[in-house]
Amino acid sequence: MRELWPSPADDIDPVTAYAADDRPAPPGRPWVMTNMIASVDGAATDAAGTSGGFGGPGDRAVFVAVRAVADVIVAGAGTVIAEDYGPARLTPALAALRAERGQPGVPRIAVVTASLRIEPDRRLFREASPDARPLVLTTARADPDRRRALAEVAEVVEVGDERVDWPRALAALRSVTGADVVLCEGGPQTNAQLVAGDLLDEQCLTVAPFLVGDEAPRIAEGPTTGARRRLRLARVLADEGYLFLRYVRDEQAG
């Protein structure tokens, strides 16, 4: 893998590159990053409705490297179901690096679902270790029977009345888990809510060398009430036709 910007170099190790980045937690909440993949023409999913068809070896390496820096990985229930999420798993070497930084061996997974429309027998819950049970971020109006069923396999955290309140959700992740860095892996509606709330500090984007056409979703889709945040390009990596872009919040642009 090569670095094209800001310091051109060959044989870059993504784990080293992403681990070295500074991610200061803002007051009252963790640093929030997203990691998404999209085709050259902006599609966030392939014809099957998932992002898996876009990936390659380099993308997998960056995916693991980005996950390795997170304390908590957040995803909407639709993404968890469509991508058949399991618990986060890292190599012993990555777990050791996390331990040196004072992090648990693996990140915890947090599922966002206002309605609790996710079944407790999914692989994410079945395969979770007792010391890294998933979190479920939900609302006061969620079905109480579903809440009780999920509470058997996850830590259910109420973070809103009818909709998930993202400032409240992020504050809860910090207080419940001590998270300094939260990684959001989508889906597009979840990403759009973070954009609308101006809560996104870092966007990692893989540009995959495909054209899709059709009416595929973007990496962020949904009402954002006119939100617009200027980002600063911090790094560009390249591997076999893929580009790996790291953008961070540009505070000078407001």
Q: Residue 41's domain is classified under what CATH number?
A: 3.40.430.10
β-strand pairing of 155-158 with 181-184: unpaired
Residue 142 falls inside a structural domain: yes
Please, is 227 exposed, middle or buried when counting C-beta atoms within 10 Å of its C-beta (0-12, 13-18, 19+)?
Answer: middle
Residue 23 falls inside a structural domain: no
Query: Residue 252: which pLDDT band, with cuts at 50, 70 and 90?
Result: low
Q: Tell me the per-residue pLDDT of 149-197, one tens digit each, with 9 for 90 and over.
A: 999 999 999 999 999 999 999 999 999 999 999 999 988 999 999 999 9
Domain assignment of residue 44, given as a range: 2-16+28-249
Q: Tell me the per-residue pLDDT of 79-106, one tens digit each, with 9 for 90 and over.
A: 999 889 999 999 999 999 999 999 999 9
Residue 144 falls inside a structural domain: yes
Residue 141 falls inside a structural domain: yes
This prediction has a pTM of 0.94
Share of the chain above pLDDT 70, in %: 97
Residue 254 falls inside a structural domain: no
Give the H or E element holding residue 244. strand 242-249
Residue 147 falls inside a structural domain: yes
Total count of domains within the chain: 1
Residue 223 falls inside a structural domain: yes
Residue 76 falls inside a structural domain: yes
Q: Tell me the per-residue pLDDT of 109-161, one tens digit each, with 9 for 90 and over.
A: 999 999 999 999 999 999 999 888 999 999 999 999 999 999 999 999 999 99
Chain centre to alpha carbon of residue 102: 21
Q: CA quadruple 40, 53, 220, 213: dihedral positive or negative?
A: positive
